[in-house]
Structure 1
């Protein structure tokens, strides 16, 4: 075991006996909820082991064994199919067909023999990236994309926490598994968010801007970033991100042609109409808008509330990035706000919450957790892949509560200094991880 992993493990009680010896007077409520001492390494390790086994078994079942997600010809009908076929159109010299719904639906039906189709609403910069994966057979491309992007997120978590053990634990949370099984890109966008925030923290402003410029493959997740950069006066990052965006967009024009961008913008009303009319199930969204539509509100009323929540999130981001330099504060408020401000975010996008969780856990292990902080983090992590079933099956749109809780954790750390609690945060253990 490496020194970094040993230090990480040393700061958390090994088992329930350690908790009792640390503070025999503490009751269950104090241990499990207020102090969070219930979260011992034996329980965390067991949960991560089960998650890893389920993660691997699920991907093997999806990619190697005929299953209910397969088309009549055996093609896996998951979100990644649209990415791979869009990349294939780039290779074929007809990239614009990915942005013509009727044409793209016909391409998918010809390939799968099924009526299930997936839209492709990403900019040509993301299509250009998928062109490389389209050189591989479909299932090989699926597996490669998930392994590479999840590995990038693991690296970002390692850069944040300083420990590979914690990084591996973080990529085994339910949200990451949900993203992997869909073949989606949330691990990629979360990794780019992580690299951006690490760059800011380490004063590598140009590199932070490069990561941010690449994040424009999913532009709705970066709406509040300019607010953060202006509030903190990070003009070099702002300039670097702008240049990177132009360079990446220029590369897509050079390779795919300028016409594909025109077709992409012409398709934008289709994406808006799908959201408004329920073409994407509202229960599968994590936005305030999706939750309100599920509860029966009309489009106009839901959008008004969505805008109000977005403005409130922008104020929180401005306040956090203006007043604090602590990344546990900045990351929590910015990433949580990013998920609240956009009306179009789906369940797998909750993978982004891994990044602020990494910062909060790192700082909690170093300087102590606030009361109830570990319990709230555990709640966010456990529910990160359960919001869609709760919404679709029970009509409970709880998803917006998760980024809201993360914002609350960030703002709370800005206003309150953490103080050590019994057990996990005693002075000897705190000095062990710091040293």
Structure 2
């Protein structure tokens, strides 16, 4: 084979069409990932390891979730929003100086109280298994295939979320239910899912823009009623005082971000990447705002012009992770949802050029951005949601132009997308 022939095949089959991304290779990678995830969680929760505190507590993010739920059950929910007191509580329990903040609204604390009735390690496992199962159901509703859904919930980002004991699988599942509801004209159910998503409000910034752009008032109203109902339930369960303390604590989260209390390399926002590169707070926030404005325009344009959910989901979720200054590496789990929509449409109708390789890039690097940022000094995290946003805009453009998709539709027995 001549060098020119090799370069041509490499470009067309390897990069442009992603022909090497066959189902047998993807299936093998998913099998290895699933085994690794299972063994990793067993090691984390059942085997003595470097994440264990002197008291035997596993020092992961879920510690703050469990304690928040325990304080709700104990009748002192306000304590988790007083940083000094909450830090002291964690140190007393774990016997370690490692502490985790809790910047979520009381609605999430109310939800966590149900898990806090269990011992810590059992609660950790049940929380991760149940929220990941919800994401699996969400992906099944999108793709129509349990096998594809199972593959999607063991991608690196989801594994990263599981090891931290974080809630990104839950928020991704809610986003999936919201988008499936809109696609299937179940607007009230879509609004309920979106209303529950307010447990992590920075991830819902662009959703109202999308709903107004598409004139979807039923979902907007349903989401509003659900949000108010959840807030009212939290007041009844936790008391009105916890909301007062929550709002008083809000500037602490902003200060933590500005001063690097959460390591910038572990974050994925445009703001954190600029800070890591040595750019000051004011300029970084100004550039973050400019990016956010551009993303808002993209979301408005897409949700106004097309009902193609592969396009809508890619732009909305990719844009959501770009518009917020406060997001961490495990939040890249949200990208599973637009990946599911794009893979579904690609398997049915064929993939556009470069889509398979772009999906492989996003999925394979979805848990690696902290390593690039911390050890190599390369804050590449915003490139992943940006790639998803670009994929959605490009899909809308190519569909509008009526261009033929040059890749043949994939099948479960043949090729598939990563």
User: Could you state the TM-score of these two structures normalised by the residue count of structure 1?
Assistant: 0.91
Would the aligned equivalents of 1:387 and 1:399 in 2 still touch at CA under 8 Å? yes
* Structure 1 residue corresponding to 2:351, chosen from 369, 377, 380: 369
Q: CA RMSD in A?
A: 1.6
* Structure 1 residue corresponding to 2:308, chosen from 315, 322, 326: 326
Q: Measure, in 1, the Cα distance between the counterparts of 2:316 and 2:410.
A: 27
Q: How does 1:123-162 map to 2 (within 5 A)?
A: 123-162=105-144
- Give 3-state SS (helix, strand or coil) of 1:416's partner: helix
> Quick check: 1:421 aligned with 2:370?
no
Alignment partner, residue 312 of structure 1: 294
Q: Which runs of 5+ in 1 are unaligned?
A: 1-23, 431-435
Instruction: Summarize the Cα distance change of 1:129–1:227 in structure 2 as closer, same or farther, 3 Å threshold.
Output: same
Instruction: Summarize the Cα distance change of 1:253–1:44 in structure 2 as closer, same or farther, 3 Å threshold.
Output: same
Q: Which runs of 5+ in 2 are unaligned?
A: 1-5
Alignment partner, residue 72 of structure 2: 90
Alignment partner, residue 81 of structure 1: 63
Q: Measure, in 2, the Cα distance between the counterparts of 1:422 and 1:287.
A: 33
Return the offset for 1:422: 5.2
Alignment partner, residue 145 of structure 2: 163
Return the offset for 1:74: 1.4
Q: Measure, in 2, the Cα distance between the counterparts of 1:302 and 1:421.
A: 41
Alignment partner, residue 112 of structure 1: 94
Return the offset for 1:424: 5.0
Alignment partner, residue 407 of structure 1: 389
Q: Measure, in 1, the Cα distance between the counterparts of 2:200 and 2:290.
A: 22
Alignment partner, residue 15 of structure 1: none
Return the offset for 1:42: 1.3
Return the offset for 1:419: 3.1
Would the aligned equivalents of 1:367 and 1:419 in 2 still touch at CA under 8 Å? no
Would the aligned equivalents of 1:192 and 1:212 in 2 still touch at CA under 8 Å? yes
Alignment partner, residue 3 of structure 2: none
1:105-132 deviations in Å (ceiling 9; x for gaps): 1110110010000000000000000100
- Give 3-state SS (helix, strand or coil) of 2:320's partner: helix
Would the aligned equivalents of 2:178 and 2:189 in 1 still touch at CA under 8 Å? yes
User: Could you state the TM-score of these two structures normalised by the residue count of structure 2?
Assistant: 0.95
Return the offset for 1:31: 1.4
* Structure 2 residue corresponding to 1:264, chosen from 246, 254, 263: 246
- Give 3-state SS (helix, strand or coil) of 1:27's partner: helix
Q: Measure, in 2, the Cα distance between the counterparts of 1:289 and 1:392.
A: 16
Q: Measure, in 2, the Cα distance between the counterparts of 1:63 and 1:107.
A: 21
Q: How does 1:388-407 map to 2 (within 5 A)?
A: 388-407=370-389
Would the aligned equivalents of 2:349 and 2:409 in 1 still touch at CA under 8 Å? no
- Give 3-state SS (helix, strand or coil) of 1:76's partner: coil
Would the aligned equivalents of 1:122 and 1:217 in 2 still touch at CA under 8 Å? yes
Would the aligned equivalents of 1:71 and 1:77 in 2 still touch at CA under 8 Å? yes
Instruction: Summarize the Cα distance change of 1:218–1:25 in structure 2 as closer, same or farther, 3 Å threshold.
Output: closer
Would the aligned equivalents of 2:271 and 2:284 in 1 still touch at CA under 8 Å? yes
1:7-44 deviations in Å (ceiling 9; x for gaps): xxxxxxxxxxxxxxxxx997232111100111011110
Q: Measure, in 2, the Cα distance between the counterparts of 1:423 and 1:121.
A: 47
* Structure 2 residue corresponding to 1:46, chosen from 28, 49, 52: 28
> Quick check: 1:198 aligned with 2:180?
yes
Would the aligned equivalents of 1:37 and 1:423 in 2 still touch at CA under 8 Å? no
Would the aligned equivalents of 2:139 and 2:149 in 1 still touch at CA under 8 Å? yes
> Quick check: 1:246 aligned with 2:228?
yes
1:294-332 deviations in Å (ceiling 9; x for gaps): 000000000000000000000000000000000000000
- Give 3-state SS (helix, strand or coil) of 2:279's partner: coil
Q: Measure, in 2, the Cα distance between the counterparts of 1:45 and 1:226.
A: 37
Q: Measure, in 1, the Cα distance between the counterparts of 2:221 and 2:132.
A: 28
Return the offset for 1:364: 0.7
* Structure 1 residue corresponding to 2:217, chosen from 231, 235, 238: 235
Q: Measure, in 1, the Cα distance between the counterparts of 2:408 and 2:389.
A: 26
Return the offset for 1:421: 3.4
